[in-house]
Amino acid sequence: MGRVTLPDQVGTPTTASTAAAESGAAQEVLRRVFGYDRFRGDQAEIVAHVIDGGDALVLMPTGGGKSLCYQVPALVRPGVGVVVSPLIALMQDQVDALSALGVRAGFLNSTQYPDERRTVEAQFVAGELDLLYLAPERLRLESTTQLLARGEIALFAIDEAHCVSQWGHDFRPDYLELSVLHQRWPKVPRVALTATATERTRDEIVHRLDLGSSRQFVASFDRPNIQYRIEPKNRPERQLLDFIRTEHAGDAGIVYCLSRNSVEKTAAFLNENGISAVPYHAGLDNRVRAANQSRFLREEGLVVVATIAFGMGIDKPDVRFVAHLDLPKSVEGYYQETGRAGRDGQPSTAWMVYGLADVVQQRKLIDNSEGDAAHRRQLQLHLDAMLALCETVGCRRTRLLAYFGQPDQTPCGNCDTCLTPPESWDGTVAAQKLLSTVLRLKRERGQSFGAGHIIEILLGKQNPKVLQYDHHELKVFGIGTDLRDTEWRGVVRQLLAAGLLAVHGDYGVLTLTEASNEVLFDGRKVPLRREPERAAKPARAAKSPKVAVELAPADASLFDRLRKWRAATAKEQGVPAYVVFHDATLREIAARKPASLAELGAISGIGENKLAKYGAGVLEVLAEE
Ligand code: ADP
Ligand code: ZN
């Protein structure tokens, strides 16, 4: 039986239940506990399958609604739903959010005091929990398996299941232990969930978690409310400031940088320019880091500047933009990070600046990385795919979706290349000039140099380094004055992305590839994307987001009052504002102005528990003039 503390319980589906009864029970839980009218996409089918005892692999993009896929079955099936999650820092918030719904949840991880842990363990054994969140490393402890054996388990949910993939971008060795679950509890259904799913990762999850006979549910990976944009990098901090000021003033957002140093600098720069921002990276004191994360979750309109260490599993629904000031290492990483924008389905922006230095830097990281040649090759493949996305002249979204196994989509109309299609030009001669400079230096002098120096030679600059090496005597000296420095950098970048040139080592020296010869000697054409002087601003349409419910001015002021009430309530209870209600719910309240508890309860996102807890408060705000 579901263990939600509801006035009258739903019928028990455990004995000889029919699919219809199960789906009735699931529907009931969805409505009463979560306050939602209907399941989205595959949710209904997944939930029914798991309630029925089946294993499932669920692939859904961030914000797709994965949580309900195990939370609802955990409430309907007898026993406790055990959720394995690597997101230790977020377990408290997850448990708080569930408690606000009247769901009995607890967690076990290394951050707890032993007596806290003992309390949760006792609750588990006594069957007083609906959901138990567990850090994967706990499964290595014999005491954990002994504990689990003492309670009744409704299901195992394996969140962020791609962490089991050794060649993926997020490998966690403890995840390999998860195959024990199946051996030990063969009858308990398992749901593995991830938002990262190339076919290779998917196969690896199935293989390592022994999910061969599970049903796979693959949702569309599209996030239509996110606008994708990638611009040439020139003055990244200025570009970021412009972007935030013109499109996202007052919005919550995440800015990703590669290094701790640039995180600190960027956060300081934003603050100096009137945009509240906090840094987040592994070098910060634990307490400072936790405090900054907590501020981001709780305050409205705060920007967090972070290394990739930030944000996994962040369930803040109203992040309006994700900005990258450095190139992510893989398309998987990029998609996961950008996916943290707009979980609430409202219009959001994924914005990135990228330049030649990024390619050189990433290549250097690969050359210096630990691991064998195969591992480095893998990293290079990840980088190549990311570069191809950056340099595409086609729709970014169709490219992303093709990467995640959904080819043949039509152009989206909501990415930069769709909104302002880039011009292309015949870069064959430019490419030949550049490649032959690299070739001559190697052949005639046995030398290799980085892009900067090669470009100086092409531009005919008689600088000290050129003179020192007598490079002004080369035949190619000054043959490239028809392009500007930035244009040449664009040429190098695009040749690198296309594999027509390679870059290596600490100094980022350029070398030729097999394919370079096709350009130099076999007449291979090189179409290039024109470097805009300045990135074109997106079409206006994209700037005035279409919200789920449009508010009239009077309703907007009511919405503001509701937000103030929510902020006060959340503060009093020590939870993030969205744990009380989402923006979308408040907006709907402001537009519909329910006059009674019954009317209020009909609004999406208000289940029985929240109605009981907050209903009177909301009606009071509505009654105020
Ligand atoms: P994921 O874990 O896949 O990133 P979540 O489970 O956090 O996504 O869900 C994303 C958002 O969508 C949450 O705010 C959640 O409350 C909402 N949501 C999920 N399913 C439904 C549904 N059936 N109806 C309405 N809202 C939903
Ligand atoms: Zn597009």
Q: How far is the CA of 40 from the centre of ligand 1 (A)?
A: 9
The answer to whether domain 16-218 and domain 226-354 are alike in fold is: yes
Distance separating alpha carbons of residues 205 and 219, to the nearest angstrom = 17
Provide the token pair at 620.
Answer: 């009071």
**240 CA distance to ligand 1 centroid (A)?**
30
Record the tokens describing residue 261, joined without a space: 């140093």
Cut 0.75: pTM above it = yes
Residue 174 structure tokens: 């403890």
Residue 536 Cα, ligand 2 centroid: separation in angstroms?
Answer: 15
Task: Give the model's pLDDT for residue 523.
Answer: 92
Contacting residues for 517 by C-beta, under 8 A, at least 6 apart: none
pLDDT at 442: 94
Ligand nearest to the CA of 538: 2
C-alpha closest to that of 474 among 518, 439, 507, 450? 439
At residue 345, the pLDDT reads: 84
Residue 550: its pLDDT value, please? 63
The token duo for 528 is 């290039």
Q: Which CATH architecture has domain 553-623?
A: Orthogonal Bundle (1.10)
User: What's the gap in Å between 536 CA and the centre of ligand 1?
Assistant: 34
- The Å distance, Cα 506 to ligand 2 centre, comes to 36
**How far does residue 393's CA lie from ligand 2's centre (Å)?**
10
- Ligand 1 atom nearest to 37, measured from its CA: 24
Written as one letter, the residue type at 382 is H
pLDDT at 533: 60
Instruction: Quickly name the fold that domain 16-218 has.
Output: Rossmann fold (3.40.50)
Query: 224 near 89, Cβ under 8 Å?
Result: no
Where do the domains of the chain lie?
Answer: 16-218, 226-354, 424-529, 553-623
Task: Kindly give the number of the ligand 1 atom that is closest to the alpha carbon of 61.
Answer: 3
pLDDT of residue 578: 86
* Residue 389 burial (C-beta neighbours within 10 Å; 0-12, 13-18, 19+): buried
- CA distances for 202 relative to 13, 56, 142, 153, 328, angstroms: 32, 12, 29, 26, 21
- For the chain, give the number of residues: 625
State which of 32, 34, 71, 217 you would mutate to test the pocket of ligand 1, scoring each by most atoms of that ligand within 8 A of its C-beta: 34
Nearest of 388, 323, 324, 327 to residue 357 by alpha carbon: 327
Q: Would you list the DSSP string of 185-218? A: -TTS-EEEEES---HHHHHHHHHHTT-TTSEEEE
Cα separation, 625 vs 616, in Å, equals 16
From the CA of 411, the nearest ligand is: 2
Burial 311-340 (b: 16+ CB within 10 A, else e): bbbbbbbbbbbbbbbbbbbbbbbbbbbbbb
Q: Which of 37, 38, 68 to mutate to test ligand 1, by most ligand atoms within 8 A of the CB atom?
A: 68
How many angstroms separate the alpha carbon of residue 64 from the centre of ligand 1?
6
Ligand nearest to the CA of 317: 1
Q: Could you tell me the fold of the domain covering 424-529?
A: Arc Repressor Mutant, subunit A (1.10.10)
**Which ligand is closest in space to the CA of residue 410?**
2
Contact yes or no for 80/104 (Cβ under 8 A) = no
CA of 226 to the centre of ligand 2 (A): 11
Task: List all residues whose CB is within 6 A of at least one atom of ligand 1.
Answer: 36, 39-40, 43, 60, 62-68, 315, 317, 343-344
Q: What angle do CA 531, 533, 534 make, to 5 degrees?
A: 105
For the chain, residues with pLDDT lower than 50 are: 1-17, 539-548
Q: Quick one: fold of 226-354?
A: Rossmann fold (3.40.50)
Q: Which residue has the CA at smallest separation from atom 27 of ligand 1?
A: 65
Token pair for residue 87? 């997101």
Residue from 40, 57, 71 to probe ligand 1 pocket by mutation (most atoms less than 8 Å from CB): 40
Using the CB atoms, write b or e for 215-243: b if 16+ within 10 Å.
eebebbbbbebbbbbbbbbeebbebbbeb
Nearest residue (CA) to ligand 1, atom 16: 65
Please list the residues that pair with 8 across neighbouring strands: none
Going by C-alpha positions, the residue among 348, 310, 315 that lies closest to residue 66 is 315
- Predicted pLDDT at 349: 97
User: What are the tokens at 108?
Assistant: 């076990």
User: Ligand 1 atom closest to Cα of 339?
Assistant: 4
Q: What order of strands is seen across the sheet that includes strand 131-134?
A: 105-108, 131-134, 80-84, 153-158, 190-194, 56-59, 215-218
* Distance of alpha carbon 334 from alpha carbon 328, whole angstroms: 6
